């Protein structure tokens, strides 16, 4: 057998792979590393290793090059109660680290080592992915809010963020112009039941219908109470042209000042 034939059978390579094919950039933080793994796995919901019937661990794919074979090997790593577990997945041979991470996750999924973590029976969401989206939709400082604030600030107007127009009323507006008595709410299309973009949920449909109807009723009540107290209420849907919305808000504020 020739040396070349022996090398092919033993898995040995003449040259080590480029570092860009397996080595990560130094100095990245935890969030950047987690985002890299999420992208490669097709989303965080696909990165869970089952530990028992109800327990799961978030896993990562690690790439290594063994000096002897000079091939890139993919490993699945996860931690449980402070102990790290590692399982060999297989060899990968793509040209970039991103592609090899994807290949590693594909092997892990093909071997049924990882998958989504199911939601508890008592959970209002059908999966981790749904819960993550819903939490993101409800958060403060959303992209539409930040963009609208910036545009209004450019109009030369100043405002308070995330405060109650009426201290005794447990309702918080996204932007409040105290002197002009203008309260601005930036409403997410899902949570507030946008008539243009709301689509019925395919799972837990009755729960979501009741939830969104309750939110709509609460919004109407908020508008009524604030209006009766002498406030101007402006509601902006997240899908609206925020430039036009900023001009609308500025007009109301200047008229009231």
If one counts every other C-beta atom within 10 angstroms of the C-beta of residue 42, the result is: 13
| Antiparallel, parallel or unpaired: β 48-50 and 60-65 | unpaired
Q: Is 18 helix (H, G, I), strand (E, B) or coil?
A: coil
| Antiparallel, parallel or unpaired: β 182-187 and 232-237 | parallel
pTM: 0.49
pLDDT at 5: 39
Give CA–CA dist 188/145, Å, rounded: 10
Nearest to 116, CA basis, from 44, 54, 53, 203: 44
pLDDT at 6: 38
Q: Is 103 exposed, middle or buried (0-12, 13-18, 19+ CB in 10 A)?
A: buried
Is-contact 182 236, C-beta < 8 A?
Answer: no
Counting residues of the chain whose pLDDT is more than 70, the rounded percentage is 82
Per-residue CA distances from 36 to 73, 99, 100, 115 (Å): 18, 11, 12, 17
Give me the half-sphere count of Cα atoms (radius 13 Å) on the Cβ side of residue 82: 0
pLDDT at 85: 95
Token match 């958060």: residue? 139
227-252 exposure pattern, b = at least 16 Cβ within 10 A, e = fewer? eeeebbbbbbbbebebeebbeebbeb
Domains (range + CATH), the chain: 3-110 (no CATH), 128-256 (3.40.960.10)
**pLDDT tens readout for residues 119-155:** 544 444 445 555 555 544 445 678 899 999 999 999 9
pLDDT at 204: 66
Is-contact 125 148, C-beta < 8 A?
Answer: no
Residue-wise pLDDT tens for the chain (257 aa)? Answer: 444 433 333 444 568 889 999 999 988 898 899 999 999 999 998 899 988 767 889 999 999 998 787 899 999 999 998 899 999 999 999 999 999 999 999 999 999 899 887 654 444 444 555 555 554 444 567 889 999 999 999 999 999 999 999 999 999 999 999 999 999 999 988 888 888 877 766 666 777 788 889 999 999 999 999 999 999 999 999 999 999 999 999 999 999 87
pLDDT at 125: 47
């Amino acid at each position: 057998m020739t040396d070349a034939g022996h090398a092919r059978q033993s898995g040995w390579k003449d040259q080590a792979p480029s570092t860009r094919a397996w080595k990560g950039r130094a100095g990245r933080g935890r969030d950047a590393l987690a985002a890299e793994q999420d992208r490669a796995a097709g989303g965080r919901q696909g990165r869970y290793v089952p530990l028992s019937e109800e327990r799961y661990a978030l896993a990562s794919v690690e790439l290594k090059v063994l000096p002897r074979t000079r091939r890139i090997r993919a490993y699945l790593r996860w931690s449980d109660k402070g102990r790290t577990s590692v399982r060999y997945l297989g060899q990968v041979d793509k040209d970039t680290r991103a592609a090899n991470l994807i290949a590693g996750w594909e092997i892990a999924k093909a071997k049924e080592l990882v998958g989504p973590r199911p939601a508890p029976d008592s959970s209002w969401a059908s999966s981790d992915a749904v819960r993550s989206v819903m939490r993101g939709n409800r958060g403060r400082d959303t992209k539409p809010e930040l963009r609208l604030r910036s545009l209004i600030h450019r109009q030369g107007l100043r405002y308070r963020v995330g405060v109650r127009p009426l201290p005794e009323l447990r309702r918080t507006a996204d932007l409040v112009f105290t002197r002009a008595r203008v309260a601005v709410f930036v409403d997410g299309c899902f949570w507030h039941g946008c008539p243009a973009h709301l689509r019925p949920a395919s799972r837990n449909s009755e729960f979501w219908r009741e939830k969104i109807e309750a939110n709509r009723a609460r919004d109407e009540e908020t508008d009524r109470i604030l209006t009766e107290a002498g406030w101007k209420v402006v509601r902006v849907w997240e899908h609206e042209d925020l430039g036009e919305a900023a001009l609308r808000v500025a007009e109301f504020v200047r008229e009231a000042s």
